[in-house]
Amino acid sequence: MPISQPPNPLGLKPPKLAKHLIPNHVAVVMDGNGRWAKSKGLPRTAGHEAGETSLAEMVYGSLQLGVKYLSAYAFSTENWKRSPEEVKFLMNFNKDVLRRRRDEFMDLGVRVRWAGQAKKLWKSVIEELETAEKLTAKNSKLTLTMCVNYGGRAELVDAAKLIAHEVKAKKLDPDRITERTIASRLYEPNMPDVDLFIRSSGEQRTSNFLLWQSAYAELVFLDEYWPDCDRQTLWKAIEIYANRDRRFGNAK
């Protein structure tokens, strides 16, 4: 089946950037749904609902510009602290979004992946994530990693457990542990490092998102609440990124 072009009713054109200035991997903390809803006199859940379009817009904007990896923070290991009603809503909402969007993402050549912990996560959510993963496994235009029940520390703890078991079973020599050993035991071992880390809603923290992978990411904090973000917001963040001087510890 031929790959469809992302919908673009306004005929928006991405910024013209040299290829090396386009981030390979963009990570986004989709924050500010509750405040967006509150500012409109709506329940918090209406903010989450409105955020679905923003996520789709990020996918379209990434495809148009040629970003290859997009990772979206949808539910953190800390979000279980929220009210049972909101947690329940978010679980169902994640399922619904995956079900509603998977065929569209399939047509666009998007490969969907899940990063997160199975512990505590609803079985039905895991099933929906796995269905989307299977359906889109052969796509290669863009990898969209849905980070659901994801925590950067939990991910490192899980990697440490795997390593400890391998050492115990004498399959791994502790003296030969390298950064690669750890990276290859993360939830998505083939995920490249994050180049651009975006957070909406004005908060300036990472909230436990992709800790290892973002070690050298450029951080861009946007004032817009997540439901007000669209592909142009993404492109604005990418233009800020393109003007950064990435040194990786080197000197000129």
In degrees, to the nearest 5, what angle opens at C-alpha 227 toward C-alphas 15 and 115?
Answer: 85
Task: Name the token pair of 228.
Answer: 């007000």
Q: Does 114 bind ligand IPE (CB under 6 A)?
A: no
Beta carbons of 148 and 116 less than 8 angstroms apart: yes
CA distance 223 to 204: 10
Is residue 79 annotated as a catalytic residue, yes or no? yes
User: By C-beta, is 52 or 133 nearer to ligand IPE?
Assistant: 52
User: By C-beta, is 191 or 229 nearer to ligand IPE?
Assistant: 229
CA distance 234 to 59: 10
Radius of gyration (C-alpha) of the chain in whole angstroms: 18
User: By C-beta, is 6 or 93 nearer to ligand IPE?
Assistant: 93
Q: Does 73 bind ligand IPE (CB under 6 A)?
A: yes
Which does residue 29 touch among ligand IPE, Mg ion, none (CB within 5 to 8 A, set by kind)?
ligand IPE
Which residue among 6, 14, 23, 32 contacts ligand IPE (CB under 6 A)? 32
CA distance 166 to 121: 26
Which residue among 26, 55, 71, 75 contacts ligand IPE (CB under 6 A)? 75
Beta carbons of 197 and 214 less than 8 angstroms apart: yes
CA distance 11 to 184: 41
CA distance 213 to 235: 22
User: By C-beta, is 6 or 32 nearer to ligand IPE?
Assistant: 32
Q: Does 28 bind Mg ion (CB under 5 A)?
A: no
Number of helices (H), then strands (E), in the chain: 7, 6
Which residue among 31, 128, 218, 230 contacts Mg ion (CB under 5 A)? 31
Window contacting ligand IPE (CB under 6 A); options: 9-17, 33-41, 100-108, 179-187 = 33-41
- Contact residues for Mg ion (CB under 5 A)? 31
Active site residues: 31, 79
Binding site for ligand IPE (CB under 6 A): 29-35, 73-76, 79, 90, 201, 203, 205, 207
